[in-house]
């Protein structure tokens, strides 16, 4: 039977490239001179450091622009609280979510069951949701349904089998 998987993944190399590009831009921009602004990257956790909250907003904007240019969706980006750091600086931790959580998987399954074509079923498999149907057109209709629904996480569709 035709099937496909709904996943929420991110290319870690693209995140690393985006952070490197943003750091290079910060080092060359005049408005970041002598602010001690930096972007530290550790897998899916990015730490922004600078002298004030308005510089932090600019830092966040530079990072977001670079992430979008590298094809990383901003739906999966969580900005933490702005914290006071040493020597009158501020810090913010940015995490990038991957995988579909159990609550989002239930929401996707319910959406497919309620609004999807008849004969289409879905089930959660770890961090992904497998969708199965007798007709290939029904699977494409489910993909369009999920794209039109705003679930708050970036979704990709892979392992399309006939």
All domains of the chain in start order, with CATH: 3-8+99-161 (3.30.70.860), 12-96 (3.30.70.990)
* R_g over Cα of the chain: 20
User: Which tokens belong to 17?
Assistant: 């490239």
List CB contacts of 112: < 8 A, sequence separation 6 or more.
Answer: 120, 121, 122, 131, 142, 145, 146
pLDDT tens for the chain, residues 1 to 162: 899 999 999 999 999 999 999 999 999 999 888 888 999 999 899 999 999 889 999 999 999 999 999 999 999 899 999 998 888 889 999 999 999 989 999 999 999 999 999 989 999 998 899 999 999 999 999 999 999 998 889 999 998 888
List CB contacts of 91: < 8 A, sequence separation 6 or more.
Answer: 47, 48, 49, 82, 83, 84, 85
pTM score, two decimals? 0.84
């Amino acid at each position: 039977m035709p099937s496909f998987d709904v996943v929420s993944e991110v290319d870690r190399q693209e995140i690393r490239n985006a952070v490197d590009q943003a750091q290079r831009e910060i080092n060359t921009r005049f408005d970041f001179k002598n602010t001690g602004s930096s972007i530290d990257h550790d897998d899916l956790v990015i730490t922004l450091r600078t002298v004030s909250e308005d510089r932090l907003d600019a830092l966040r904007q530079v990072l977001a622009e670079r992430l979008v240019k590298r094809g990383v969706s901003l739906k999966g980006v969580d900005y933490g609280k702005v914290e006071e750091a040493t020597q009158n600086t501020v810090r913010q931790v940015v995490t990038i979510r991957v995988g579909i959580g159990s609550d989002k998987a239930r929401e996707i399954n319910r959406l497919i069951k309620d609004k999807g074509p008849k004969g289409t079923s879905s089930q959660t498999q770890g961090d992904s949701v497998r969708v199965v149907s007798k007709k290939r057109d029904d699977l494409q209709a489910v993909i369009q349904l999920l794209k039109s629904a705003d679930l708050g996480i970036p979704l990709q569709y892979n392992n399309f089998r006939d």
